[in-house]
Amino acid sequence: MPAQGDLNGRPYTYFVAMADGIRIDITLWRYIQLFSMHIDELSGLSIDGKQLTREQCRAVLQCPDEDLMLLLHQAYKVRHHYFGNHVHVQVLRNAKSGLCAEDCRYCSQSRVSQAPIEKYPLVSKEALLTEAQKAAQIKATRFCISTSGTRPSEAEIDRLCDTIKTIKKETGLPLCATLGLLTESQAQRLKAAGLDRVNHNLNTSRRYYGDICTTHTFQERLDTVARCQAAGLEICCGGIVGQGETDADIIDLLLSIREIRPQAVPVNFLVPIEGTPFGGLDTGLNPRKCLKILCLARFLNPASEVRAAGGWEYHLRELKPLALYPADSIFVTGYLTTGGTSVGEVCTMIADMGFESTIEDLGD
């Protein structure tokens, strides 16, 4: 039978069950089990290296909005344990745009997109070197390059290796690249040329992958990550939320990423782009949901950089500063083909929140 109660000033409705004369307050017991215990203990579990159960992961994503600040505090304790109050501000340099044969439904560069974007082949070594030198002048901590396409050709690998060697020699900057699917030999050549890190996202869960792309598989992405790790490259591996996936898919994605143990985990929030198959998609995201996803990414990957990546400011809106509690890294300005917030604006926000910032690369 239903009954009313009060817990720490919060009214709740619960159902009372009788079993052999013992009264069980079912909903109250679940509330205490899933929220009071979990929110108070999540940071300790994460710092101790213990993996959250799926039930705990679900409780984070479904945390009541009135408890969001408690959840953020727990995520901040983990973030502070590993990264203090430091924030990496990262800008992604697009070295090749469009011209992609894949059918990723979220992407303006894919062959199924009608979005009006600039398209160009791999830019010259000289152009990338100039950008890297600018990054070095402002004491950026990393220079990042991204190319479109399924996988680089051998000719493109030749050019990229030459460019990487030159940038490394001239600037000494740590280098990261997003290049698509890679073979074992390509990963080895890139590492030998001086590349330090590869970004290769899983994008969504294994179960849902066929709903966002059919021209390559989830397993192919995992295989590329494994080849890069075997070559000695650091790994940046995350995903995109807001593509119509369920909470279970978000959990599966973040658990898969945890198994990889990447150095960085970028969490992208889909910004539907007109002209793409997902252009009119209802993402199901709001600022509070985005923060809960970032918190779960932090709990499951405590020692990895957790990056509020593409679309974070679009979806977090006035709650943008709160992203700094779970995330120690953020993207600014051009994310490949969509714009973002300027470096100056973000650095001011970071300072206002009492955090310190370091810039990775330089925005246009």
Amino acid residing at 195 = L
Does the annotation count 236 as an active-site position? yes
Does the annotation count 57 as an active-site position? no
Higher pLDDT, 300 or 25: 300
Token pair listed for 129: 């070197």
Residues 346-354 have a mean pLDDT of: 92
Q: Which CATH fold would you assign to the domain 84-360?
A: TIM Barrel (3.20.20)
Q: What is the pLDDT of residue 334?
A: 45
Token pair listed for 249: 């898919």
Higher pLDDT, 16 or 107: 107
Does the annotation count 161 as an active-site position? no
Residue 119 pLDDT level (bands cut at 50, 70, 90)? low
- Which of 57, 144, 237, 295 is catalytic? The answer is 144
Residue 259 pLDDT level (bands cut at 50, 70, 90)? very high
Q: What is the pLDDT of residue 110?
A: 66
Residue 121 pLDDT level (bands cut at 50, 70, 90)? low
Q: How far is CA 257 from CA 144, 175, 331, in A?
A: 21, 22, 19
Token pair listed for 363: 């925005």
Q: What is the pLDDT of residue 353?
A: 96
Q: What is the pLDDT of residue 13?
A: 42
Question: Cβ distance 339 to 361 under 8 Å?
Answer: no
Does the annotation count 107 as an active-site position? yes
pLDDT at 1 over 80: no
Dump pLDDT digits (tens) for 123-166. 888 988 888 888 888 777 888 888 877 888 999 999 999 999 99
194: left (phi over 0), alpha (psi -120 to 50) or beta: left
Q: What is the pLDDT of residue 113?
A: 63
Does the annotation count 144 as an active-site position? yes
Q: What is the pLDDT of residue 303?
A: 98
Does the annotation count 104 as an active-site position? yes
Cα separation, 201 vs 223, whole angstroms: 12
Dump pLDDT digits (tens) for 36-74. 446 789 999 999 999 999 999 999 999 999 999 999 999
- Which of 57, 63, 104, 347 is catalytic? The answer is 104
- Mean pLDDT (the chain, rounded): 84
- Which of 57, 79, 93, 100 is catalytic? The answer is 100
79: left (phi over 0), alpha (psi -120 to 50) or beta: alpha
Q: What is the pLDDT of residue 39?
A: 77
Cα dihedral value 247, 297, 325, 266, nearest 10: -110
- Which of 63, 93, 105, 107 is catalytic? The answer is 107
Q: What is the pLDDT of residue 95?
A: 62
Token pair listed for 308: 């509020």
Share of the chain above pLDDT 70, in %: 80
Dump pLDDT digits (tens) for 184-210. 999 999 999 999 999 999 999 999 999
Extents of the domains making up the chain: 2-82, 84-360
